[in-house]
Amino acid sequence: MTIAKLTETDVRGKRVFIRADLNVPQDEAGNITEDTRIRASLPSIRYCLENGASAVMVTSHLGRPAEGTVRAEDTLMPVAVRLGQLLERPVRLVPDWVDGGFEAHEGEVLLLENCRCNVGEKKDDEALARKMAALCDIYVNDAFGTAHRAEATTHAMARFAPVACAGVLMGAEIDALTRATSNPARPLVAIVGGAKVSSKLTILRTLAEKVDQLIVGGGIANTFLLASGKRIGQSLAETDLVKEAQAIIDMMKERGAEVPLPVDVVVADELSALARANRISIDEVGAHDRILDVGPKTAARLADIIAHAGTIVWNGPVGVFEYDQFAGGTKMLASAIAHSSAFCIAGGGDTLAAIAKFDIANDVGYISTGGGAFLEFLEGKTLPAIAALER
Ligand code: ADP
Ligand code: MG
């Protein structure tokens, strides 16, 4: 994969347009509740400022606006304020920017209003892309989180801008994901946890063809337990996907690889913060039990697999880690990853929350900012935004 990179591009005196992913969560009053994505976008902006770009224009989508209007909840204003604080310089929000007509002062960062409010953005419209490309000398895509979508600012624009390159974050994401997927250090261990098999079926199938061990956790493990003939009581599972789970187990066996299943679990009779947790062997699960975490024996076994891994790919918790009594398995897993010398790449909204909860961010090789894009890259799909940069 050869892609031009911002850090190998001369930006002096140039107008740079950065498509970032600043789609941060907000509370009802519009306050930003979590700013990781803004922080992750700083290196590209700083690179342009430090290397004498004549204008630094940044845009992003925020939420799911309707095209053609900017409602109160759509504006990037709160993002402009936070970005200004982090950069320690003014960031001016520019409304109605598609047709140009605005100037940047020396060293000023312009935040161009929510790009998904522009008519034609979602449809990857060529006329819109041409107009936006005319605003800049260099187009930078740094929005890995939306790399799996072909939209005017993530895809068509790359074709019409004089220069198109990957930002610092996009470059780091591509490098880390490529390292974990092409020619990874073995054994390659994947952990796929979370709630439902259906949301991760493609990734499970793809990984089953590549990895040495496929650790399944959470509701996903329950469906695999059913496939292996275990009773799971009232646990979350998808009975219509038991055959799929069986096929994955068989495919792994044929390759001499394995899907290690829980030998003990933590159960409760309800899923709530006050639920009383019981640790039992997998063969003791009763008709009214819900499996909400893996037990200590299973966690120790998983930790051992992780300790001997060469590369680890992690998406999804192995239990309802939001409640402390069901967090033990995911905590043990997090700790094993933190102590492992393997290169670990992790991604997914709730996975990132688990990484934060157990405070291991500094000990994970690479934490992806992409949820959907992260999974699609691992599935071996060509991401439209990356393909556009390759041309
Ligand atoms: P990610 O966002 O990292 O991709 P998912 O969204 O697929 O992860 O899954 C995370 C959710 O799965 C968490 O909210 C967690 O509580 C839930 N979960 C984990 N284990 C179980 C289980 N045994 N039963 C029900 N839900 C579970
Ligand atoms: Mg999630």
Separation of 348 CA from ligand 2 center, angstroms?
Answer: 6
DSSP secondary structure string, 90-119? -EEEESS-TT------TT-EEEE--GGGST
CA gap 338, 335 in Å, rounded: 5
Q: What is the position in ligand 1's atom list of the atom closest to the CA of 218? A: 20
Q: In this structure, what token pair is assigned to residue 268? A: 């409760």
- pLDDT for the residue numbered 357: 95
pLDDT of 295 strictly over 70: yes
Longest dimension (CA), the chain: 71
Count of CA atoms in the C-beta half-sphere (13 A) of 22: 30
- Contact assessment for residue 20 and residue 58, using Cβ atoms and an 8 Å cutoff: yes
- For residue 22, the Cα-to-chain-centroid distance in whole angstroms is 13
Q: What is the position in ligand 1's atom list of the atom closest to the CA of 320? A: 16
pLDDT of 335 strictly over 70: yes
Nearest CA residue ID for atom 5, ligand 1: 194
Instruction: Please state whether beta strands 15-19 and 138-141 pair in parallel, antiparallel, or not at all (unpaired).
Output: parallel
For the segment 195-211, the average pLDDT, to the nearest whole number, is 91
Percent with pLDDT over 70 in the chain: 100
- pLDDT for the residue numbered 199: 86
For the segment 254-262, the average pLDDT, to the nearest whole number, is 96
pLDDT of 1 strictly over 70: no
* Residues designated as active site: 37, 196, 349, 372
For the segment 312-332, the average pLDDT, to the nearest whole number, is 97
For the segment 221-248, the average pLDDT, to the nearest whole number, is 97
Q: In this structure, what token pair is assigned to residue 39? A: 């922080």
State which of 350, 351, 376, 378 you would mutate to test the pocket of ligand 1, scoring each by most atoms of that ligand within 8 A of its C-beta.
Answer: 350
CA gap 355, 361 in Å, rounded: 6
Q: What 3-state DSSP class applies to 217?
A: coil
* Residue 160: band (very low, low, confident or very high) from pLDDT cuts 50, 70, 90: very high
State which of 230, 234, 264, 320 you would mutate to test the pocket of ligand 1, scoring each by most atoms of that ligand within 8 A of its C-beta.
Answer: 320
Closest residue by Cα to residue 215 from 306, 291, 344, 324: 306
Q: What 3-state DSSP class applies to 366?
A: strand
- Contact assessment for residue 94 and residue 114, using Cβ atoms and an 8 Å cutoff: no
For the segment 39-53, the average pLDDT, to the nearest whole number, is 97
CA gap 40, 52 in Å, rounded: 21
Query: What pTM does this model have?
Result: 0.89
**DSSP one-letter code for 316:** S
Separation of 349 CA from ligand 2 center, angstroms?
Answer: 5
Separation of 111 CA from ligand 1 center, angstroms?
Answer: 35
CB 44 less than 6 A from any atom of ligand 1: no
Q: In this structure, what token pair is assigned to residue 391? A: 């041309």
Q: Is 10 exposed, middle or buried (0-12, 13-18, 19+ CB in 10 A)?
A: exposed
How many angstroms separate the Cα of 166 from the Cα of each of 17, 71, 150, 387?
11, 30, 15, 11
Sequence-ordered list of residues with C-beta below 8 angstroms from that of 148, at least 6 positions apart, any chain? 370, 372, 373, 376, 377, 381, 383, 384, 385
Percent with pLDDT over 90 in the chain: 92
CA gap 226, 205 in Å, rounded: 18
For the segment 228-254, the average pLDDT, to the nearest whole number, is 96
CB 316 less than 6 A from any atom of ligand 1: yes
- State which residues have CB under 5 angstroms from ligand 2, the bound ion: 349-350
* Residue 187: band (very low, low, confident or very high) from pLDDT cuts 50, 70, 90: very high
Q: Helices 201-208 and 242-254 meet at what angle, rounded to 10? A: 10
For the segment 284-305, the average pLDDT, to the nearest whole number, is 98
Residue with tokens 């006329």: 127
Residue with tokens 């591009």: 9
CA gap 313, 192 in Å, rounded: 8
For the segment 29-43, the average pLDDT, to the nearest whole number, is 94
- Contact assessment for residue 309 and residue 332, using Cβ atoms and an 8 Å cutoff: no
CB 184 less than 6 A from any atom of ligand 1: no
pLDDT of 327 strictly over 80: yes
CB 21 less than 6 A from any atom of ligand 1: no
- pLDDT for the residue numbered 349: 87
Q: What is the position in ligand 1's atom list of the atom closest to the CA of 375? A: 4
Nearest CA residue ID for atom 7, ligand 1: 194
CB 262 less than 6 A from any atom of ligand 1: no
CA gap 92, 75 in Å, rounded: 13
CB 351 less than 6 A from any atom of ligand 1: yes
Q: Calculate the average pLDDT of the chain.
A: 96
Helix extents (H) in the chain: 36-50, 77-87, 126-133, 157-160, 168-181, 201-208, 218-227, 242-254, 296-307, 328-339, 349-357, 372-378, 384-390
CA gap 3, 165 in Å, rounded: 7
CB atoms within 10 A of CB 113: 22
pLDDT of 135 strictly over 90: yes
**DSSP one-letter code for 154:** I
pLDDT of 193 strictly over 70: yes
Nearest CA residue ID for atom 4, ligand 1: 348
Closest residue by Cα to residue 327 from 307, 301, 364, 353: 353
pLDDT of 391 strictly over 80: no
Residues in the chain: 391
